Chains A and B, each alone.
Chain A
């Protein structure tokens, strides 16, 4: 694992479920994009064949991922691993929302 880090070509993927009841609405989408922007890695969210830029709140919103739906996070770049881990954490704690 440690050996993988620092490779520019590294691609990390993870599947995740939207636990927020209302889906990826405005506040979660804002937090997601803000967090994604902190990383150098390119990060996309994919649902079926639709792929959007996780750093764009507008993209994330237009994904309109409902509560309970699954999506795939795919990051590539130096800090791809950290980026995916951070985002997974956020999905897990519902982006700080109650439900």
Chain B
């Protein structure tokens, strides 16, 4: 394969240059067919037998590591082992090798297809579905035949790890010193591969659709986890360019980390607080290490996902209290459940919603499921006797919802008082501004809350009517669209007129091109991915409020997004020519 470029989502910044190593691949669909010479038939059969034996051995060692509480798991592995050792599968595939003179991979595929026919004729649906197990077992053999899933211990030297997907169980046993970068076919911005890669400070790109088809094991690749690009089989020139960029990036990283605990203060003395958005409790370490001055957004959904029962109030109190006390005296803002049919838990029934983004989600869901909501509110109230806590409702569309939520909160306070349980009666309560309706009535909302947090990701999506994950329209997702800029400014001004603080969370807050504009608007704090903090602080420390104000004035005076983007690009590039090589921006800066 000659040089080509794949794109994905960079979830952990950095650059790596090296050889691709596939940990696992979904094999369906691209098994090669190859004729083999008559005198190679015997060795081809041998190869099949060896691969079966290797697969069985591998499966046995997996089974032996299954902890006792997962006995059921081991039983399934046992039945897979029995299938692997079943002479039927081996003989059927071997017969194809001998009669058709074809490679073992193709012969095995044919044997499995025959098996599919037999199984599909079975009436009992449960037994019929066992064909899935046959396929799984065959996949494992295929990966042995094709020399793919060699297991991580077999890695020679340092590699760029590629996989269909990486589950926490896959990554637990990795020798990270051998991994230069991660890339996966699956996964999105918030996938665990990203969180893990960031905490290990290893570059990672996820969601690379064509990864398995377009990259061969052992092929030379460049991982550009700044722009989210994978360059397969690069030429000399590209390698030189990226080697330099990589060195520059690493120097830059260590330089900014060194200074990340300095305050985010402009040259002329304007100070903004830099907070972190986190999803997992474990990310607290990253917040502290990267100079975060508090948690501006704690996404509380994680404790509700991937588990049999809903968390109990006491469990939540423990979690929240631990977080508050680790961060104390700095602030932790707990956002109440932002679940919906796009973010599901095991207990919440699948709603058939044709448009989940406009459906029963977030605060709407909580107001309709008050028991779930109350458990969480009580937990935050109780936890907030420690540290500096705040509560925040997401997706508020108007006063009615806000008041409804506050009524439930008041009920919780009353109940806790009656039960004699300790809680903080003065817990600050704020809302996220992420719907255009909330922007329009920001003055009214500001009178009834303690703070605002502008959620730009959703605000942009709802204001412009763009689903940014939809490839057909994502080019219209424009963070500096005049409507978005004016909305943000309107909300900040409304908050300040009412004497409350306003924070901004969302990717705009960590986009070096957007930050100076936000400073010009005088936002009180910016909340971002912990790993973005050092770079943003550094940029803020090198600017002056005068230039931010001037940029904002020009931006507000521009009528089109094209003009704004060009203006911002030119201004910021001129100011920070060296640093910006290490950032990607959401602004469509190449647009003419």
CB within 8 A of B83: which of A23, A58, A64?
A58
Is B115's CB under 8 angstroms from A58's CB? yes
Q: Does A83 contact B (CB under 8 A)?
A: no
Q: Find chain B residues with CB under 8 A from A53 CB.
A: 87-88
Is B89's CB under 8 angstroms from A25's CB? no
The SS class assigned to the B binding surface is helix
Nearest chain-A residue to B134 (Cβ)?
Answer: A58
Nearest chain-B residue to A23 (Cβ)?
Answer: B124
CB within 8 A of A34: which of B82, B88, B128?
B82
Nearest chain-A residue to B75 (Cβ)?
Answer: A27
Is A56's CB under 8 angstroms from B87's CB? yes
Is A58's CB under 8 angstroms from B88's CB? yes
Is B119's CB under 8 angstroms from A62's CB? yes
Nearest CB of B to A71, in Å = 15
Nearest CB of B to A50, in Å = 11
Is A33's CB under 8 angstroms from B86's CB? yes
Is A64's CB under 8 angstroms from B124's CB? yes
Q: Does B136 contact A (CB under 8 A)?
A: no
Q: Find chain A residues with CB under 8 A from B128 CB.
A: 64
Is B134's CB under 8 angstroms from A62's CB? no
Q: Find chain B residues with CB under 8 A from A66 CB.
A: 124
Q: Does B581 contact A (CB under 8 A)?
A: no
Q: Does B547 contact A (CB under 8 A)?
A: no
Nearest CB of A to B534, in Å = 53
Nearest chain-B residue to A53 (Cβ)?
Answer: B88
Q: Does A61 contact B (CB under 8 A)?
A: yes
Is A55's CB under 8 angstroms from B127's CB? no
A83 and B361 CA atoms in complex are apart in Å by 60
Q: Does B318 contact A (CB under 8 A)?
A: no
Is B79's CB under 8 angstroms from A30's CB? yes
Is B86's CB under 8 angstroms from A58's CB? yes
CB within 8 A of B86: which of A25, A27, A56?
A56
B interface residues, how many (CB within 8 angstroms): 22
Nearest CB of A to B378, in Å = 40
Nearest chain-A residue to B76 (Cβ)?
Answer: A26
Q: Find chain B residues with CB under 8 A from A58 CB.
A: 83, 86, 88-89, 115, 134
Residues 79-117 (chain B) with a chain A CB within 8 angstroms:
79, 82-83, 85-89, 115
Per-position contact with B for A17-56: 1 when CB-CB < 8 Å, else 0? 0000011111101100110010000000000000001011
A22 and B87 CA atoms in complex are apart in Å by 26
Is B118's CB under 8 angstroms from A62's CB? yes
Q: Does B126 contact A (CB under 8 A)?
A: yes
Nearest CB of A to B63, in Å = 13
Q: Find chain A residues with CB under 8 A from B342 CB.
A: none
Q: Does A57 contact B (CB under 8 A)?
A: yes
Q: Does B175 contact A (CB under 8 A)?
A: no
Q: Find chain B residues with CB under 8 A from A62 CB.
A: 118-119, 122
Q: Does B130 contact A (CB under 8 A)?
A: yes
Nearest chain-B residue to A56 (Cβ)?
Answer: B88
CB within 8 A of B82: which of A25, A57, A64?
A57
Q: Find chain B residues with CB under 8 A from A23 CB.
A: 124, 127
A64 and B119 CA atoms in complex are apart in Å by 9
Is B88's CB under 8 angstroms from A25's CB? no
Q: Does A10 contact B (CB under 8 A)?
A: no
Is B122's CB under 8 angstroms from A57's CB? no
Q: Find chain B residues with CB under 8 A from A24 CB.
A: 127
Nearest chain-B residue to A22 (Cβ)?
Answer: B126
Q: Does B156 contact A (CB under 8 A)?
A: no
A37 and B130 CA atoms in complex are apart in Å by 21
Which of A27, A55, A57 is most buried by chain B, counting CB atoms within 10 A of its CB?
Answer: A57
Nearest CB of B to A93, in Å = 16
A57 and B83 CA atoms in complex are apart in Å by 6
Q: Does B123 contact A (CB under 8 A)?
A: yes
Q: Using A26-B133, A58-B83 as known contacts, say yes or no to A64 and B122 having CB atoms under 8 A apart.
A: yes
Q: Does B78 contact A (CB under 8 A)?
A: yes
A66 and B515 CA atoms in complex are apart in Å by 67
Is A25's CB under 8 angstroms from B126's CB? yes
Nearest CB of A to B581, in Å = 56
Nearest CB of A to B120, in Å = 11
Is A26's CB under 8 angstroms from B88's CB? no
A59 and B114 CA atoms in complex are apart in Å by 13
* Given contact pairs A34-B78, A34-B82, A59-B86, a sample of 9 additional A-B residue pairs in the complex whose CB atoms are under 8 Å apart: A24-B127, A26-B127, A27-B75, A33-B86, A56-B88, A57-B86, A62-B119, A64-B124, A64-B127
Query: What 8 A-B pairs come out closest when comparing CB atoms?
Result: A30-B79, A56-B88, A57-B82, A64-B122, A30-B82, A58-B88, A64-B127, A56-B86
29 A-B contact pairs sorted by A residue (CB < 8 Å): A22-B126, A23-B127, A24-B127, A25-B124, A25-B126, A26-B126, A26-B127, A27-B75, A27-B79, A30-B75, A30-B82, A33-B82, A34-B82, A55-B87, A56-B86, A56-B88, A57-B82, A57-B86, A58-B83, A58-B86, A58-B115, A58-B134, A59-B86, A59-B88, A61-B119, A61-B130, A62-B118, A64-B122, A64-B128
